[in-house]
Amino acid sequence: MTDTIQLNYHKTHFLTSAPDIRHLPEDSGIEIAFAGRSNAGKSTALNALTNQKNLARTSKTPGRTQLINLFEVEPQCKLVDLPGYGYAAVPEQMKIQWQKALGEYLQKRECLGGVVILMDIRHPLKDLDQQMIEWAVSADLPVLLLLTKADKLSQSERSKTVKMVREAILPFQGDIQVEAYSALKKIGIDKLSAKLNAWFSPATSLQGA
C-alpha cells in the first residue's frame, strides 16, 4: 500500500496542448483527466484547485477547450483538461472529431490514473455524462464525480442531490465517488485534492525509489 502524499497544486503550470493522443508527450507518470460538459465549470474548478485565476482558460462561450491541455503539478504528475462535450454551437463534424479524441484518450492512454467528471449540480447525469462514466468504468478507471456550482443550492438541496446521484450511479458498478463542489465558496476542494493525492501517490513513490 502506497502512502498518500500531499502535492502542492498551487505550483501547477501549463505544459502543452494537443489535438489528439498522437500529439501528447511520452505516455509516462500519472495523468488525471478532467472531463465535463462545456458549461460544467471545468476550467473554473481547475483554477480553484490550483489557486490560479488563469491557469485553465475560462470562457463565456462553452466549448472553448477544443484541445487536450496538459498541466504539470510536478514531474510525473499531470492534470489534463479534456475538451468539453455537449456544446450546441459547433459544427457536427467538429463534435464527432472531439468525441473521437476523448474516447481514444480514455481508452488508450496508459498513464491515465483517474477521471474527474464535472457536472452542474442542478443538471447532473445527462446522457453524455453517463456515456463518460461508462467509458471510464469500462477502461477500469476510478472516477470522482464533482457536482459543480454547489453554491447555487441550499445545504439541504445539495445533500439531497448528492445522495440521489450516489444512488443513480450504483448500476455502473465502478469505483466512483460523488462530491459537491463550488469554486466560489471553496466547497469540496479538500475532497478533490485528497482524491488526486491518492491517485498520484504511485508516481511519487516511483520518484523516491
pLDDT at 136: 92
Q: How far apart are CA 172 and CA 204, in angstroms?
A: 30
Q: Where are the domains of the chain?
A: 9-206
Quick one: average pLDDT of 27-38? 93
User: pTM of the entire structure?
Assistant: 0.91
Q: Are strands 143-148 and 30-36 parallel, antiparallel or unpaired?
A: unpaired
Quick one: average pLDDT of 10-18? 93
pLDDT at 209: 39
> Residue 44: pLDDT above 70?
yes
pLDDT at 58: 59
What is the CATH architecture assignment of 9-206? 3-Layer(aba) Sandwich (3.40)
- pLDDT, tens only, 73-121: 999 999 999 888 776 566 777 777 777 778 888 888 999 999 999 999 9
CA torsion 179-147-135-89 (nearest 10°) is -170
pLDDT at 121: 97
Q: How far apart are CA 146 and CA 37, in angstroms?
A: 12
Grid coordinates of 37: 460538459
pLDDT at 88: 57
| Maximal CA-CA distance, the chain | 49
Within 10 angstroms of residue 48's Cβ, the number of other Cβ atoms is 25
pLDDT at 206: 55
Within 10 angstroms of residue 110's Cβ, the number of other Cβ atoms is 7
Mean pLDDT of the chain: 88
- pLDDT, tens only, 130-177: 989 998 999 999 999 999 999 999 999 999 999 999 999 999 999 999
pLDDT at 53: 85
pLDDT at 31: 97
Question: Treating both helix axes as pointing N-terminal to C-terminal, what angle do 189-208 and 42-50 enclose, rounded to 10 degrees?
Answer: 60
> Considering only 42-51, 78-87, 191-200, which range has the smallest mean pLDDT?
78-87
Give the whole-number percent of the chain exceeding pLDDT 90: 62
Helices (H), 38-182: 42-50, 92-108, 127-138, 155-168
Confidence of residue 1 (pLDDT cuts 50, 70, 90): very low
Backbone angles phi, psi at 167, to 5 degrees: -75, -40
